[in-house]
Amino acid sequence: MSRILRLLVANARMRLLQWMGWRGMLLWLTVNQLVTPLLGLAVWSAALPGQAAVSDYYMALLVVQMLTVSYEYHTFANGIYDGGLAGGLLRPQPVILNPLAENVALRVWHLVVASPLIVVTALLVHVRLEYGWALLAVPSLLLAGALRFLLTYLLAMAAFWTQRAAGVVAVGETLIFLAGGGAAPIALYPPSFRTLIEALPFPAMLGVPAEIAAGAMDSGQVITAYLLQMGWIVILVACVALAWRAGVARYTAVGG
């Protein structure tokens, strides 16, 4: 286990340095990821003027979005299409390690690149996040990051069966936006929809840590949220393992 962890850290460090050379691309990716929370902030501030809870939520969501971004279609699915996965299968390490390390590196860079804009926006909207709630949101944020990685990795595995994995991943991203807390804070959904949405894994990938940081949950709800996130992780790990076994059995690419 410690060997895997060492490999992950070394790989992530290498990817961090590698991405330093692609600053233009990083800037583009980050700006692209900032748009949804900023749009949400503008729209909901106009719809419910004077409600500080909305701006607190979207400010927290900005950080959550940067630390949960997942690009496994590019870092993993493309390897299935171009044969790059063949090389990964020969290495004495789990194939998931490379996309995971790249994911970690990209999240760090997203936060670094987005930081100036996050600070300026926080000053403009007079954000009032409390340290206690922000600290409670950290475990939830880590679990959300794991969940979003697992879902995107699972959807990217569609590349084993179809040429349209990009579309499959895009559908997943749209679901995270609509039912995860990007389109609106979950608490603002009509009660019937809220019940349905809360039964899905998507809020646990985005909105839940932002809600905790914004102080929209009591301590009992926070514990329940952690447990739910862990439950979804167990389910998604099982789905990933099953999909990997089935996918790699039919993988026939040559080269890389």
Partner 1 sequence: MSGPRRLIRLLTMVFSLSLRQQLAFRADLVFEGLVTLFSVTAGLGAVGVIFTRTGTLGGWGPWQVVVLYGTFQVTTGLLQTFVEPGLQAFPSQVRSGGLDPILLRPVPSILLASLGLNAPLNLLESVAGLGVVVWGLRHLGPTPPDRAAEWGLLLALAVIIAWALRTLVAAASLFGPSTNLGAMFVSGWQFGRYPVSIYHQPVRALLTYVLPVAMLSTVPSLALTRGVDGALIALAGGAALVAITTTNLVWTAGLRRYTGATG
Give strand ranges (E) for the chain.
none
Nearest distance from C-beta of residue 221 to partner 1, angstroms: 21
- Helix (H, G, I), strand (E, B), or coil: what is residue 69? coil
Kindly state whether residue 10 participates in binding partner 1, applying the rule CB under 8 A.
Answer: no
Q: Give the single-character DSSP code of 206.
A: T
**Residue with Cβ nearer partner 1 (25 or 138):** 25
Kindly state whether residue 220 participates in binding partner 1, applying the rule CB under 8 A.
Answer: no
Note the residue count of the chain: 256
Contact letters for partner 1, residues 104-143 (x by CB under 8 A): ----------------------------------------
Kindly state whether residue 246 participates in binding partner 1, applying the rule CB under 8 A.
Answer: no
Report CA torsion sign: 93, 241, 158, 20: negative
Choose one: 45-53, 73-81, 98-106, 132-140; the region binding partner 1 (CB under 8 A). 45-53
Residue choice 105, 106, 183, 205 for contact with partner 1 (CB under 8 A): 183
Q: What span, in angstroms and rounded, lies between the C-alpha atoms of 72 and 38?
A: 24
Residue choice 10, 20, 47, 246 for contact with partner 1 (CB under 8 A): 47
Kindly state whether residue 238 participates in binding partner 1, applying the rule CB under 8 A.
Answer: no
Q: Shortest CA distance to 62 belongs to which of 213, 192, 169?
A: 213
Site for partner 1 in 151-180 (CB under 8 A): 163-164, 167, 170-171, 174-175, 177-178
Question: What angle do the packed helices 97-124 and 131-156 form, to 10 degrees?
Answer: 140
Exposure string for 190-215, b = 16+ CB within 10 A, e = fewer: eeeeeeebbeebbbbbbbbbbbbbbb
User: Which positions lie near partner 1, rule CB under 8 A?
Assistant: 24, 28, 31-32, 34-36, 39, 42-48, 163-164, 167, 170-171, 174-175, 177-178, 183-184, 188-190, 193
